[in-house]
Amino acid sequence: MRLGRRKSRNRLVWVLCIVALALLVIPVVSILVGVAGRGLAHFRLSFLTTYPTGNVGGLLNSIEGTLVVTTGVLVLAGIIGVAGGVYLAEYCGDNGGQILRGASEVLAGIPSIVLGYVGYIALVLSLDWKYSLYAGIIVLSVLVVPYITKTTEVALRNVPTSYREGGEALGMRTGYLLRKLVLRPALPGIATGLIIAAAIAVGETAPLLLTLGYNEKSPTFSLHNSPSGFLTYNVFNDYNQPSAFLHQRADAAALILIVFVLVLIVVARVIVMMTQRNSPDRAQHAGKGPR
Amino acid sequence: MSAPWRTVAADAEDAEDERRGTEDGPLLSLQTRFSAPSPADAQPVDVSRDGARRGGGGSDAGGGAGGGGGQDDGGPHAPIRATAWWRAERLLPHGLRIITFIPLVALALILGVLSWKAWPAIRFNGFGFFTRTPWSVGNTYAPIVTTNGIRHPPLASYGALPLIIGTLASAAIALVLAVPVAVGTALIVVEKLPPRLSSAVGFCLEVLAGVPSVVFGLWGFFTLGPFLSHDVAPLWADHIPDVPVLRFFRGPTGGGEGLFTVGVVLAIMILPIIAATTRDLLRQVPRATVEGALALGMTDSEALGAVTVPWVRSGVIGASVLGLGRALGETIAVAMVSGSLIGANVHSLYSSFNTIAAAIVNQLDGAQTDASGLAISTLAELGLVLFVITMIANLGARLLVRRVATTALPVGRGI
């Protein structure tokens, strides 16, 4: 009797867990199927190949803008983030780095809209850049630098200390050791961090609304007054407009965004899988000899 | 594994040449190193990673002139190249340190700019900003008037109470809905599912973390909102008694834009943070202890309660508060499904409302028409309030859990 009650309670717990799993998986499927279905239903090739004029035309300006901004963020935030991560992991003691890590963590916790608004006040209004490509890139870079720093630092710390000790025992200089022995095994981790950054840059809306504005033409690269289109703008601005065509274009923009993000996720997964396959640990665990 | 070892050794020999600046062959240089290092060449080599900074180092520059093996271009003698690398590498730590301080400087600038811009609004709005309800830019066509030295349009009056309540309420709903689902999912993924399936669930989490918030907003507006207001909320909304507290959950369920829909959307958005962290914590629970509990005759779920859950509890709380931080700051998805009510309090679970973050985006166009700049300034004050609220949440997470085990989920903000 008592055992029976315990057994049924056990079953109840696991049933609840299955329900929880379903509650997580169903929205994912619904989002992917819903966005893909709506986007594909009225997809036209002209969305990918033409510039918009007024309420007609395609998304080419936004696709170009998103790619340019993402590239800019990867360059700017990549340099700052990777350099910061290398410094925190290799050159700076645990105590000395505490304040820098704390700053990075606080920065990661700031809502993107606050960063965007500061960018709007400081760059767009006070420095009088107007809506500017560089204002958008700078704000998004501030947004993603903490992630790149963190992943770089973690990746470097996961490189076994014996590598460094071996190198130093052989008399290598620190910089040389870093370049030849430490950075190489950490590259997959650093690449994953950059992919996170790219995914965030592709998907952010609010900071770009405030700093990048919108423009129907290709992005120009001047510092002042160079607004640019970006894909999330097309979704946010057009989903509620009284025009069936604009709805279709917003759905198509959402579909392109999802495709971008899925590609980035798959690339990250492939990187992780390839690293695991090549690592000596795994070869030993699987019982295979070294190649 | 022999090939990598050989390269490492060869690299090391070249490095040794480069360091000493001799033109000796590798073998000879090895011999000299072991026999009698001259004081000038003896460099302090710290084995510990943290002692990597070298003091002084004046002897390096002189030795570089002789040149050694230019490692990267393959040629054995490339003196100029080697010297250039040398100099660059000695400057490297300093350059890296300067770059590392950029986030710190950025943080100070952000706080400084925000406070500087918000100052006129803080003086104009006073403490009533937190207790008033109405929100009005004022009459922007009338001439600007001055009160207490602050220029503002007549009738301007700002109250952030509904926005603060909306922000906290929507984030609280999200947390209440997300934590049980995330923990349940993590439990079944770690304890029961075969590796292939748990990898599939992991992919779902990555997708959820990576989907842009506009897409969540679009989905919430077209799919989730109508579904909740037509098929889910009516299940209980009509049957709840009309008593003071429960009244909030009563009433017409509307068309899908409102507090309830936003809460569910935010819950789905913060699920991956909590679920992935919990999953990775559960994988660290010592197997032997769980097996001991099972050997004592406990059922699976009793072992969970006795061993596993206490083990991961603090980490789950920390991850939940991190998720709360993201829910508090989410902007675009909220702006798309909240109904953007401004200047009035939320009166039922299904009514339109607004959050601080969404209000900044909604109100910017209106604020730009205010020539006195007070509206822009007030939005900066809102940003400052939001900053403080999220900072309290994040600091709370750190205080609750000394070391929140943040995991490397490939994509998503707020992880």
Nearest Cβ partner for A84 among B100, B300, B336: B100
Q: Other CB atoms closer than 10 Å to residue A136's CB: what's the count?
A: 33
Rounded to whole angstroms, the Cα distance separating A178 from A277 reads 24
Which residue of B lies nearest to A20 if distances are taken between CA atoms?
A: B181
Q: Do B215 and A196 touch (CB under 8 A)?
A: no
Name the more confident of B94 and B21.
Answer: B94
Which residue in A228, A226, A222 sits closest to A51, CA to CA?
A228
Question: Is B119 inside a domain boundary?
Answer: no
Can you point out the beta strands (E) in chain A?
A: none
Torsion of CA A28, A30, A35, A38, to 10 degrees: 170
Q: Do B12 and A172 touch (CB under 8 A)?
A: yes
Burial B169-189 (b: 16+ CB within 10 A, else e): bbbebbbebbbebbbbbbbbb
Q: Other CB atoms closer than 10 Å to residue B128's CB: what's the count?
A: 12
Residues of A within 8 A of B360 (CB-CB) are: 113, 117
Residues B180, B91 share a domain: no
Mean pLDDT across chain B, nearest whole number?
A: 77
Which residue of A lies nearest to B117 if distances are taken between CA atoms?
A: A121
Entry field: residues in chain B = 415
Residues of A within 8 A of B218 (CB-CB) are: 35, 235, 239, 250-251, 254
Nearest Cβ partner for B212 among A10, A18, A261: A261
Rounded to whole angstroms, the Cα distance separating B111 from B97 reads 22
Residues B351, B257 share a domain: yes
The ipTM of this complex is 0.90
Residues B281, B173 share a domain: yes
Residues B179, B41 share a domain: no
The partner residues of A226 in beta bridges, in order of sequence, read A132
Name the more confident of B28 and A252.
Answer: A252
Residues B204, B89 share a domain: no
Q: Within an 8 Å CB–CB cutoff, is residue A62 touching chain B?
A: no
Structure confidence at residue B395 (pLDDT):
82
Question: Is B133 inside a domain boundary?
Answer: no
Residues 6+ apart with CB under 8 A from B379: A117, B359, B360, B363, B364, B367
Residues B382, B303 share a domain: yes
Alpha helices in A205-278 (DSSP H): 206-211, 231-238, 244-278
Question: Is B194 inside a domain boundary?
Answer: yes
Q: Do B214 and A90 touch (CB under 8 A)?
A: no
Q: Do A113 and B361 touch (CB under 8 A)?
A: yes
Rounded to whole angstroms, the Cα distance separating B334 from B125 reads 26
CB B137 within 8 A of CB B329: no
Q: How close A128 gets to chain B, by Cα (Å)? A: 15
Question: Is B397 inside a domain boundary?
Answer: yes
Q: Do A265 and B184 touch (CB under 8 A)?
A: no
Mutation site for A-interface testing, chosen from B301, B340, B407 by largest number of A Cβ within 10 Å: B301
Q: How close B244 gets to chain A, by Cα (Å)? A: 31
Domain end: B43, B67, B95, which one?
B95
Question: Is B146 inside a domain boundary?
Answer: no
Residues B168, B83 share a domain: no
Q: What is the mean pLDDT of residues B389-398?
A: 85
Residues of A within 8 A of B267 (CB-CB) are: none
Nearest Cβ partner for A88 among B100, B182, B411: B100
Which residue in B129, B109, B221, B170 sits closest to B330, CA to CA?
B170
3-state SS of chain B is CHHHHHHHHHHHHHHHHHHHCCCCCHHHHHHHHHHCCCCCCCCCCCCCHHHHCCCCCHHHHHHHCCCCCCCCCCCCCCHHHHHHHHHHHHHHHHHHHHHHCHHHHHHHHHHHHHHHHHHHHHHHHCHHHHCCCCEECCCCCCCCEEECCEEECCCCEECCHHHHHHHHHHHHHHHHHHHHHHHHHHHHHHHCCCHHHHHHHHHHHHHHHHCCHHHHHHHHHHHHHHHHHHHHCHHHHCCCCCCCCHHHHCCCCCCCCCHHHHHHHHHHHHHHHHHHHHHHHHCCCCHHHHHHHHHCCCCHHHHHHHHHHHHHHHHHHHHHHHHHHHHHHCCHHHHHHCCCCCCCCCCCCCCCCCCHHHHHHHHHHHHCCCCCCHHHHHHHHHHHHHHHHHHHHHHHHHHHCCCCCCCCCCCCCCC
Question: Is B284 inside a domain boundary?
Answer: yes
Question: Is B107 inside a domain boundary?
Answer: no
Burial A99-114 (b: 16+ CB within 10 A, else e): ebbebbbbbbbbbbbb
Stretch 99-158 of chain B: residues touching chain A, C-beta under 8 Å = 99-104, 106-107, 109-110, 113-114, 117
Residues of A within 8 A of B207 (CB-CB) are: 28, 32, 261-262, 265
Q: How close B52 gets to chain A, by Cα (Å)? A: 6
Residues of B within 8 A of A206 (CB-CB) are: 331-332, 357, 361
Stretch 174-193 of chain A: residues touching chain B, C-beta under 8 Å = 174-177, 180-181, 189, 192
Q: Within an 8 Å CB–CB cutoff, is residue B79 touching chain A?
A: no
Q: Do B214 and A168 touch (CB under 8 A)?
A: no
Structure confidence at residue B216 (pLDDT):
94
Which residue of B lies nearest to A284 if distances are taken between CA atoms?
A: B1
Q: Do B394 and A118 touch (CB under 8 A)?
A: no
The pLDDT profile of chain A, 291 residues, written as one tens digit per residue, is 577 888 898 999 999 999 999 999 999 999 999 999 999 988 888 889 899 987 888 899 999 999 999 999 999 999 999 999 999 888 877 777 788 888 888 888 899 999 999 999 999 999 988 899 999 999 999 999 999 998 999 899 888 889 888 988 998 887 788 888 888 889 988 998 899 899 999 999 999 999 998 888 888 888 888 899 999 999 999 888 888 899 999 999 999 999 999 999 899 888 888 877 665 554 444 433 333
**Residue reference for tokens 């560089």:** A134
CATH number of the domain where residue B293 is located: 1.10.3720.10
Q: Within an 8 Å CB–CB cutoff, is residue A172 touching chain B?
A: yes
Nearest Cβ partner for B361 among A181, A206, A250: A206
CB B215 within 8 A of CB A31: yes
Rg of chain A over Cα atoms, rounded to whole angstroms, equals 24
Domain end: B40, B65, B95, which one?
B95
Decide if pLDDT at B335 tops 80.
yes
Q: What is the mean pLDDT of residues B218-227?
A: 93
Residues 6+ apart with CB under 8 A from B196: none
Residues B89, B214 share a domain: no
Six-digit token pair at B236?
A: 């209980």
Structure confidence at residue B80 (pLDDT):
53
Which residue of B lies nearest to A163 if distances are taken between CA atoms?
A: B8
Q: Do B180 and A235 touch (CB under 8 A)?
A: no
Q: Within an 8 Å CB–CB cutoff, is residue A143 touching chain B?
A: yes
Residues B174, B256 share a domain: yes
Q: Do A35 and B93 touch (CB under 8 A)?
A: no
Q: Within an 8 Å CB–CB cutoff, is residue A273 touching chain B?
A: no
Which residue of B lies nearest to A13 if distances are taken between CA atoms?
A: B301
The partner residues of B157 in beta bridges, in order of sequence, read B136
Encode pLDDT of B151-209 as tens digits: 888 888 899 999 999 999 999 999 999 999 999 999 999 988 898 888 899 889 989 98
Q: Which amino acid is at B240?
A: I
Question: Is B39 inside a domain boundary?
Answer: yes
Share of chain B above pLDDT 90, in %: 33
Q: What is the mean pLDDT of residues B71-90?
A: 58
Q: Which domain holds residue B168?
A: 161-404
CB B96 within 8 A of CB A92: no
How many interface pairs between A and B have CB atoms less than 8 angstroms apart? 326
Structure confidence at residue A283 (pLDDT):
42
Q: What is the mean pLDDT of residues B98-123?
A: 91
Total domains in the fold of chain B: 2
CB B17 within 8 A of CB B68: yes
Residues B314, B197 share a domain: yes
CA B11, distance to chain mean position in Å, is: 40
**Distances from the Cα of A70 to the Cαs of A77, A119, A196, B76, in angstroms?**
10, 17, 11, 41
Residues B312, B176 share a domain: yes
Residues B175, B37 share a domain: no
Grade residue B409 by pLDDT with cuts at 50, 70 and 90: very low
